[in-house]
């Protein structure tokens, strides 16, 4: 399985893939990455799976061999090391029937070292002092045969990940943050992330949030239909029905195919093969949708929370992040803070975030402590005296 003349092993046969799985099954750590395209399909089109372990690299061609045998590796006791793993894990689960159950995500871990959302190339350079070849953004990973240069680039995405993990674990351990990072890495696993709900897909379409009344119900049902249809036919959402068409249908719900065909943005291709009838059915569902079944976008917590409270708490979080030399966005966003203030579920409710930032904010909100400034202008929390500072602050 070892590369020859710097060219990684290219797996295109089932017996070689099975042998690869045998070799990987006993590895405590292995690196993984994927190459895929999303331009022409609803589901990402998997083009390549890259794997590295010890001093070896292998590239699995899912266009030539069913990658399903990798399921036993992913369900094993080994830990996958990946960078920005979320979408890769979703793709692997769909292609192989399982995704790695244990993951060390180098991009996530970087935040605990004060490095905010770095690219793999930047992180490898910062931590290992190695410059990776830059990606060709126009590379076609579905072409065959793949040029030697592309294969070498694909191998580069995994060949340094294990060394990167080792170096980062050392730095995290020195700062007492390894457990925090490992806890956060588990949040990238498919079962920990919220999947798309078709009835909520309309929230992300253009000016949909400006709709009122029954138009919102129609938007919900038509967009949900589009989401499900796109998944079944494996085509991009907008090729099934454009955003403009969804918006105009919601604003001017058609009664029949003739009215539907005249609406702005509606393409004849969207109406073919039963599409027109299904869209009209979705419109009618929207017209008669009970009010309690309408899924409205959650009100922005920031609009409900006291802006003074958000500002003070955000300043506290910023200072905590700076003191820890920490990625502030990883610690808490303004939305996280606002959700906590208004009593809605927040990332600050549990785990390491609760210990570092959630508890101080809760003490501040409960009036147990007060905020003040030290001689250097830093924000500090002090036990409250409950003595008003002056008449203008009383009551």
Contact 100, 48 (CB under 8 A): no
Residue with tokens 């953004």: 137
pLDDT of 313 reads 93
The CA–CA distances, whole Å, from 208 to 12, 201, 243, 301, 384 equal 46, 10, 10, 19, 46
pLDDT of 49 reads 98
Parallel, antiparallel, or unpaired for β 369-373 and 379-383?
A: antiparallel
Closest CA to 346 of 383, 298, 296: 298
Q: Which two tokens stand for residue 134?
A: 């830059």
User: Rounded to 5 degrees, what angle do the CA atoms 327, 91, 103 make?
Assistant: 45
Residues in the chain, pLDDT under 50: 1-5, 394-395
pLDDT of 327 reads 87
Helix axes 214-233, 275-287, angle to 10 degrees: 150
Tens digits of residue pLDDT in 60-90: 999 999 999 999 999 999 999 999 999 999 9
Closest CA to 239 of 231, 230, 252: 230
Residues of the chain with CATH 3.30.420.10: 9-192
CATH architecture of the domain with residue range 9-192? 2-Layer Sandwich (3.30)
Contact 33, 88 (CB under 8 A): yes
Rounded to whole angstroms, the Cα distance separating 130 from 72 reads 33
Rounded to whole angstroms, the Cα distance separating 83 from 92 reads 14
pTM here? 0.88
pLDDT of 3 reads 42
- Domain 301-393 fold: DNA polymerase; domain 1 (1.10.150)
Residues of the chain with CATH 1.10.150.80: 198-293, 301-393
The dihedrals phi and psi of 52, each to the nearest 5 degrees, come to: -140, 145
Peptide bond just before 145 cis, omega within 30 deg = yes
Domain 198-293 CATH superfamily: HRDC domain (1.10.150.80)
């Amino acid at each position: 399985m070892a590369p020859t003349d710097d060219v990684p092993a290219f797996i295109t046969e089932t017996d070689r893939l099975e042998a690869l799985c045998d070799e990987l099954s006993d590895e405590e750590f292995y690196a993984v990455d994927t190459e895929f395209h999303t331009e022409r399909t609803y589901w990402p089109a998997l083009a390549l799976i890259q794997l590295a372990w010890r001093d070896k690299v292998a590239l699995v061609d899912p266009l030539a061999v069913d990658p399903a045998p990798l399921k036993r590796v992913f369900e094993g006791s080994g830990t996958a090391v990946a960078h920005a793993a979320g979408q890769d894990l979703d793709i692997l689960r769909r292609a192989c029937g399982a995704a790695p159950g244990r993951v060390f995500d180098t991009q996530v871990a970087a935040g605990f070292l004060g490095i905010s959302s770095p690219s793999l190339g930047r992180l490898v350079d910062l931590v290992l002092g190695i410059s990776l070849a830059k990606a060709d953004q126009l590379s076609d990973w579905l072409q065959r045969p793949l040029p030697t240069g592309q294969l070498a680039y694909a191998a580069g995405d995994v060949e340094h990940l294990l060394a990167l993990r080792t170096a980062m674990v050392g730095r995290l351990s020195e700062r007492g943050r390894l457990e925090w990072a490992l806890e956060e890495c588990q949040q990238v696993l498919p079962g920990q992330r919220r999947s798309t709900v078709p009835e909520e897909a309309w929230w992300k379409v253009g000016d949909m949030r400006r709709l009122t009344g029954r138009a919102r119900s129609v938007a919900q049902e038509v967009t949900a239909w589009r989401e499900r249809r796109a998944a079944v036919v494996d085509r991009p959402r907008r090729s099934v029905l454009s955003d403009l068409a969804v918006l105009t249908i919601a604003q001017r719900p058609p009664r029949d195919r003739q009215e539907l065909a005249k609406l702005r943005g509606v393409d004849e291709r969207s109406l073919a093969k039963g599409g027109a009838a299904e869209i009209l059915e979705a419109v009618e569902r929207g017209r008669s949708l009970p009010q309690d079944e309408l899924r409205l976008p959650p009100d922005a917590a920031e609009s409900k929370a006291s802006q003074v409270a958000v500002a003070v708490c955000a300043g506290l979080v910023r200072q905590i992040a700076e003191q820890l030399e920490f990625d502030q966005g990883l610690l808490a966003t303004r939305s996280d803070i606002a959700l906590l203030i208004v009593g809605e579920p927040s990332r600050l409710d549990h785990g390491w975030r609760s210990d570092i930032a959630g508890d101080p904010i809760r003490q501040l909100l409960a009036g147990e402590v007060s905020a003040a400034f030290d001689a250097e202008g830093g924000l500090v929390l002090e036990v409250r005296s409950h003595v008003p500072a002056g008449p203008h602050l009383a009551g």
